[in-house]
A and B are shown apart, each in its own frame.
Chain A
Amino acid sequence: MILVLRNNDINLQKDYQKIVKQSTPRPTIFKNCILAFITGGLICDVGQFFLNYFKSLGIDPIQAGTPTSIVMVFIGAFLTGIGVYDLIGKYAGAGSIVPITGFANSIVAPAMEFKREGYVFGVGARMFTIAGPVIVYGVTSSIIIGLIYYLLRL
Chain B
Amino acid sequence: MAKRIGKQTVKLQNPPSILSYASIVGPKEGQGPLGEYFDQVLEDDMFGEKSWEKAECKMLQETIKLSMKKANLTADDINYVLAGDLLNQIISASFMAREIQIPYIGLYGACSTMSESLSLAAMLIDGGFADYVIAATSSHFSSAERQYRFPLELGTQRPLTSTWTVTGAGATVLGTTSKGNGPYITYVTTGKVVDLGIKDQFNMGAAMAPAAADTIKTHFDDTGFKPEDYDLIISGDLGIIGIDLTQQLLGQMKLDINNIFTDCGLKIFDTEKQDTHAGASGCGCSAAVLNGYLIKEIINGKYNRILFMSTGALLSPISTLQGESIPGIAHAVTIQRTLD
User: CB-defined interface of A1-45 with B at 8 Å, one 1/0 digit per residue?
Assistant: 111010100001100110110011101100010000000000000
Report which of A13, A23, A102, A105 forms a contact with B153, defined as CB distance below 8 A.
A105
Q: A20-B206, A23-B244 are in contact. Are A80 and B153 (CB under 8 A)?
A: yes
Does A134 sit within 8 A of B, measured CB to CB?
no
Q: A2-B253, A5-B249 are in contact. Are A92 and B203 (CB under 8 A)?
A: no
User: CB-defined interface of B150-180 with A at 8 Å, one 1/0 digit per residue?
Assistant: 1111111111110000000000000000000
Distance in angstroms from A10 CB to nearest chain B CB is 9
Contact status B196-A24, CB under 8 Å: no
Does B273 sit within 8 A of A, measured CB to CB?
no
Interface of B is mostly: loop
Contact status A83-B241, CB under 8 Å: no
Counting chain B CB atoms within 10 Å of each CB, the highest count among A12, A20, A92, A108 belongs to A20
Contact status B157-A32, CB under 8 Å: yes
Counting chain A CB atoms within 10 Å of each CB, the highest count among B157, B198, B203, B213 belongs to B157
Does B39 sit within 8 A of A, measured CB to CB?
no
Report which of B156, B159, B194 forms a contact with A7, defined as CB distance below 8 A.
B194
Counting chain A CB atoms within 10 Å of each CB, the highest count among B210, B249, B254 belongs to B210
Contact status B155-A13, CB under 8 Å: no
- Additional A-B contact list (16), CB under 8 Å, known A86-B155, A130-B150: A1-B254, A5-B214, A5-B249, A19-B245, A28-B160, A32-B157, A83-B153, A86-B152, A89-B154, A89-B155, A92-B155, A96-B155, A108-B153, A113-B146, A113-B151, A116-B50
Closest to B145 in A: A113
Q: A2-B253, A109-B153 are in contact. Are A13 and B241 (CB under 8 A)?
A: no
Does A73 sit within 8 A of B, measured CB to CB?
no
Contact status B153-A113, CB under 8 Å: yes
Q: In the assembled complex, which residues on chain A have CB atoms less than 8 Å from the CB atom of B210?
A: 5, 16
The interface of chain B, by Cβ under 8 A from chain A, is 50-51, 146, 150-161, 193-198, 203, 206, 210, 213-214, 241, 244-245, 248-249, 252-254
User: CB-defined interface of A94-111 with B at 8 Å, one 1/0 digit per residue?
Assistant: 001100001001101110
Distance in angstroms from A99 CB to nearest chain B CB is 11
Q: In the assembled complex, which residues on chain B have CB atoms less than 8 Å from the CB atom of A96?
A: 155
Closest to A85 in B: B155
Contact status A112-B153, CB under 8 Å: yes
Contact status A24-B252, CB under 8 Å: no
Interface of A is mostly: helix
User: CB-defined interface of A58-92 with B at 8 Å, one 1/0 digit per residue?
Assistant: 00000000000000000000001001011111101
Q: A20-B198, A27-B159, A92-B155 are in contact. Are A3 and B51 (CB under 8 A)?
A: no
Size of chain A's interface in residues, with CB distance under 8 A? 40
- What is the bound-complex CA distance between A50 and B120, given in angstroms? 64
Number of A-B residue pairs, CB cutoff 8 Å, is: 103
Closest to B198 in A: A20
Distance in angstroms from A106 CB to nearest chain B CB is 6
- What is the bound-complex CA distance between A108 and B213, given in angstroms? 43
Q: In the assembled complex, which residues on chain B have CB atoms less than 8 Å from the CB atom of A114?
A: 151
- Residue pairs across A and B with Cβ atoms less than 8 A apart, 5 shown, are A20-B203, A24-B161, A93-B157, A97-B155, A109-B154
Q: In the assembled complex, which residues on chain B have CB atoms less than 8 Å from the CB atom of A32?
A: 157
Q: In the assembled complex, which residues on chain A have CB atoms less than 8 Å from the CB atom of B196?
A: 5, 7, 12-13, 16-17
Report which of A2, A17, A105 forms a contact with B198, defined as CB distance below 8 A.
A17
Q: In the assembled complex, which residues on chain B have CB atoms less than 8 Å from the CB atom of A27?
A: 159-160
Q: Top 7 closest A-B pairs, CB basis?
A: A89-B155, A113-B151, A109-B153, A109-B151, A109-B154, A13-B197, A16-B196
- What is the bound-complex CA distance between A101 and B160, given in angstroms? 25
Closest to B250 in A: A2
Q: In the assembled complex, which residues on chain B have CB atoms less than 8 Å from the CB atom of A17?
A: 196-198
Closest to B249 in A: A2
User: CB-defined interface of A115-145 with B at 8 Å, one 1/0 digit per residue?
Assistant: 0100000000000001000000000000000
Q: In the assembled complex, which residues on chain B have CB atoms less than 8 Å from the CB atom of A130?
A: 150-151, 154
- What is the bound-complex CA distance between A25 and B162, given in angstroms? 11
Q: In the assembled complex, which residues on chain A have CB atoms less than 8 Å from the CB atom of B197?
A: 13, 16-17
- What is the bound-complex CA distance between A80 and B157, given in angstroms? 15
Q: In the assembled complex, which residues on chain B have CB atoms less than 8 Å from the CB atom of A7?
A: 193-196
Closest to B277 in A: A25
